[in-house]
Amino acid sequence: MKKIVVLMAFVMSLFTVSAFADQGAKQTVPSVSKGYVKKDKAYWTRVWYKNNGYKKRNGRWVKAGVKSRSKRSTRKRISKNSYRPSRSSGIVARVDLSKQRMYVYDRGVLRHTWKVSTGRKGYGTPTGTWKIHRMHKEYYSKKYDNAPMPYAMFYYRGFAIHGTGSISRLGRPASHGCVRLHPKNAAKLFSMVRRKGGTVKVTW
C-alpha cells in the first residue's frame, strides 16, 4: 500500500514540474525580438545616405567633409549688406535715393560709400538698372545753361553720374535728375568704370 502511495506522489510531482516549466517558457519568450528594425522608406533613406558618404548634422544630411553654415552667420551677412552683386558684374554703382548715398562695388566687394545729390522736387531720378554706355571727362549740359558736368557717365537717356561744384548740397536732393558726386569721387569712379565697365542701380 505504501509503495502505491509513493508511486502516485512521484507521478504527480512530475506533472507539476512539467506544468511550471511550460508556464515559465511562455513568460520568457518575447513577443518581438529586440534586434528588430522596421525597414520602411525612412530606413532605406538612411541606408542610402550612409552608403553615399553623408552624415546627419543639425537634423540635415550633409556630405562628409563639407562645413555647414550656421543660420546666425547667414543672417549677419544678409543684414550687413542687403545688396551684393556677383563677382562678374564689374563696377556697380548703387544709388540709394532715400539715404542719398552711393555704394560702389568692385567684383562684388563694397569699396566706397559716398554722399550724392539726386533729383530735387519736380526733377525725379528714375529707378532701375542700366549699363554705363557713354563717358566724358569734360562735359557741359546742353539743357541747363551749359552747366559743367565733369567726369560724366551717362547710363539712361540724358541721366548721368557726374561731379559737381555744389559740394555743400551733397547728401540731399538738389539736382535736375542726375546723380551728383564730389569731383574727386567722380574722378575715382570714372577711372574704375573706364577700366572695368560699369552698371548703375538706382533704388529707394
Active site residues: 162, 178
Using alpha carbons, list the distances in angstroms from residue 127 to 102, 116, 164, 198.
Answer: 13, 15, 21, 16
- Measured in degrees and rounded to the nearest 5, phi and psi for residue 99 equal -100, -10
Q: Are 176 and 144 in contact (CB under 8 A)?
A: yes
Pairing of strands 198-203, 91-96: parallel
Q: Which three cell numbers stand for residue 147?
A: 552747366
Q: Which residues of 3-32 are buried (b: 16+ CB within 10 A; e: fewer)?
A: eeeeeeeeeeeeeeeeeeeeeeeeeeeeee
Q: How many CB atoms lie within 10 A of CB 40?
A: 8
